[in-house]
Amino acid sequence: MSTSHVQFNSENTNPPSARIEDAESEQWFARYKNSKSVGFCVLDRQLRYVFINERLANINGVPASAHIGQPLRLIIPSLADQIEPAAQQVLATGKPTLHVEISGQRPRRAEDGKWFDHFYPILDESGAVTRVGIIVVEDAEHRTNDAALRELQEKLGSETERLQLLLEVNSVISSNWNLTQVFPRISALIRRLLHHEYASFAIYKPDTGLLVREAIDFPLSKGLTSNVQITLTDGPSGRTFQQRASRIFRLEELETFKGETTDRFLAEGIKSMCCVPLIRPSGPFGVLALGSTREDAFHQEEVGLVELVAAQLALAIEASRTAREADSLKKRLEEERKYLEGEVLADGQFSEIIGESTTLKGVLDQVATVASSHANVLILGETGTGKELIARAIHRMSRVKKGPFVKLNCAAIPTGLLESELFGHEKGAFTGAISQKIGRMELADGGTLFLDEVGEIPLELQPKLLRVLQDQEFERLGSNRTIRVKVRLLAATNRDLEESVAQHQFRSDLFYRLSVFPLRIPPLRERSEDIPQLVRHFVRKFSEKVGRQIESVPKETMDALSQWSWPGNVRELENLMERSVILSQGKALQVPLTELQGPPRKVDGQKAENLGDAEREHIVRVLRETRGVISGPNGAARRLGLKRTTLQSKIRRLQISRSDYEDPQH
């Protein structure tokens, strides 16, 4: 005998339409004898029960053993008139009769029901129809009221638990937006319904292309930690993020992943996982993952609940991120208000720089030349010469003039805090770091950073600054996240950096990076013709400030001011003019000339009055004797016992020009 080629599952409520030729075979009984949803019985030609499964026996309300050998009419008399004609027709014709609607009351049931019976002929070895097989499917719409009510109550109870869970999750999130801290509480709430052992959420970082686990709840863990970076191919979370759809992963699928993350899960005993993407209107940005040490711990009907929790998390994460960005922007704006320079732009690019001397104009021409490039500029000059004004002018004429201009005086910050001030730090990076700080380098992104007194940067910090100049990237203190910036660097110093390099106090590679375009600012004594103009500017400025009306400067006063050497340069002149305006009682400026102590600026042939002048005269004399030759066995450096670079630095520092030592006869 052969069975039908149509295959069907015993749980399927749609009966086969093909003729069954051997219903008593093992395959037939294997399909239906233990079915939980489909009733099945076999009747002989006298319509007596030959076989009945437990499902149909329960429907009839009579034990299965009590059916065998008994006629159908005896067991279910109220329904016999509906069933017997169809069974007899099959026995007579040998053809199946399908989808016969049976309705009424069965034994031991207080209510009516509705069923669909399907009748099939069963042949003996000779091919004669000797039996009939009946498949009974109960209509779900006619279940008992009690059963329907119980099911409804169960559903309502389940929905109530789900709603209560979501309300409690929302309450936890509302009480503390730091999800890393409260996530274990959220996981504990979910565990009441899903009974997982592991939970975490990870956020996608576009700059690295990795998922970073932000929080984890795994009390039984032997070593899993948060802040782990996960590739998109290294496990279920990455797969879920890529597919943008919720997934259930069973053990056999987990074992197919090749990566450290999944290997750790398996080592921890995780045998099934449920992963749900964290999605906002802009797209997915993370994954919520649950894991269990039990196989098949998660089912599809539970995924919806996890998705609702994930939606709450996603909303909270986005809100927290927005709040952090707003707070960061606020801090940045506050920092920029403190450190931003050049807010008030007067007419003309050099309006803040007073003077028309040939020396000064030469410097300003160089400023105009280098400003439009992105080259680093090293501004050299004595203290008080206006190096910051030059830096500000370069920024205003540069391509990044619409960006911020941020300055940092490297000499004004304690050495231990300079790195934090320059590059910023994370909360807890060191003792006293109670909050995150944005460094000047980050504040200057898209603009110009001006490092005043750059020669004061300690050696241990110089490699990090060199890296920014080379790669335009750095990390805050206490962070491993690389921050990329686009900054133009201007630096200034009154030190001889070449001499510092020679003495190993300043890195040579950093010096060369900084001094792509060195720019020397002349001291005030080299442009004395600008002093009258500067005096008038400062007198007008401070007269308006203190409410005085100064209309003239005595000639002898102006002559004295023009003859003074101004070791403090323009800053010294400015301070003196402020005091003078305050002291003046009339309309003529009264300058306390007694404060200008010491002889006026030395002219040729005058005796040196200080050590600097003596050093200058000695170097000039040796240069004259060597006819300007600096290096070599007969050069000035060898005769002075100095390195060539050191002598060149001294020549620049002492403002020795070729005309000072050239032989007028040649």
Q: What is the predicted pLDDT for the residue at 22?
A: 46
Q: What is the predicted pLDDT for the residue at 617?
A: 80
More confident residue, 86 or 152: 86
Q: What is the predicted pLDDT for the residue at 227?
A: 64
Q: What is the predicted pLDDT for the residue at 119?
A: 92
Q: Is 458 in contact with 510 (CB distance < 8 Å)?
A: no
Amino acid letter, 31: R
Residue 9 has pLDDT above 80, yes or no: no
Instruction: Please return the burial class of 301, using the count of CB atoms within 10 Å of its CB with bins 0-12, 13-18 and 19+.
Output: exposed
Helical residues (DSSP H) of 255-385, grouped into ranges: 260-267, 300-339, 358-371
Residue 634 has pLDDT above 70, yes or no: yes
Q: Which domains does the chain have, with CATH numbers?
A: 26-143 (3.30.450.20), 152-321 (3.30.450.40), 358-520 (3.40.50.300), 524-595 (1.10.8.60), 611-661 (1.10.10)
Q: How confident is the model at residue 151 (pLDDT cuts 50, 70, 90)?
A: low
How many Å apart are CA 514 and CA 391, to the nearest integer?
Answer: 14
* Residue whose tokens read 């600097």: 612
* Residue whose tokens read 């020549």: 651
How many Å apart are CA 115 and CA 53, to the nearest integer?
Answer: 16
Please tell me whether residue 346 adopts helix, strand or coil conformation: coil
Q: Give the CA-trace dihedral at 398, 401, 404, 408, to 10 degrees.
A: 30
Lowest mean pLDDT among 10-19, 540-549, 630-639: 10-19
Q: How confident is the model at residue 225 (pLDDT cuts 50, 70, 90)?
A: low
How many Å apart are CA 273 and CA 254, to the nearest integer?
Answer: 8
Please compute the mean of the pLDDT values over residues 499-514 and round it to a whole number.
90
Please compute the mean of the pLDDT values over residues 164-178 and round it to a whole number.
77
Lowest mean pLDDT among 131-135, 242-246, 329-333: 329-333
Report how far Cα 552 is from the mean position of its chain's Cα atoms: 62
Q: pLDDT tens digits for 287-339? A: 999 999 988 888 888 888 888 888 888 888 888 777 777 777 776 666 555 54
Residue 68 has pLDDT above 50, yes or no: yes
**pTM greater than the 0.95 cutoff:** no
How many Å apart are CA 72 and CA 66, to the nearest integer?
Answer: 11
Q: What is the predicted pLDDT for the residue at 437?
A: 85
How many Å apart are CA 103 and CA 109, to the nearest integer?
Answer: 13
* Residue whose tokens read 């499902």: 55
Q: Of 157-171, 225-239, 512-526, where does the model show the most confidence?
A: 512-526
Q: How confident is the model at residue 11 (pLDDT cuts 50, 70, 90)?
A: very low
Q: What is the predicted pLDDT for the residue at 600?
A: 44
Q: How confident is the model at residue 159 (pLDDT cuts 50, 70, 90)?
A: low
Query: For strand 38-44 and strand 49-52, is the pairing parallel, antiparallel, or unpaired?
Result: antiparallel
Here the contacts of 175-178 (C-beta below 8 Å, separation 24 or greater) are 177/316, 177/319, 177/320, 177/323, 178/320
Residue 35 has pLDDT above 90, yes or no: no
> DSSP labels for 75-98?
H-HHHHHHHHHHHHHHHHH---EE
Residue 606 has pLDDT above 70, yes or no: no
Q: How confident is the model at residue 163 (pLDDT cuts 50, 70, 90)?
A: confident
* Residue whose tokens read 């005043």: 452
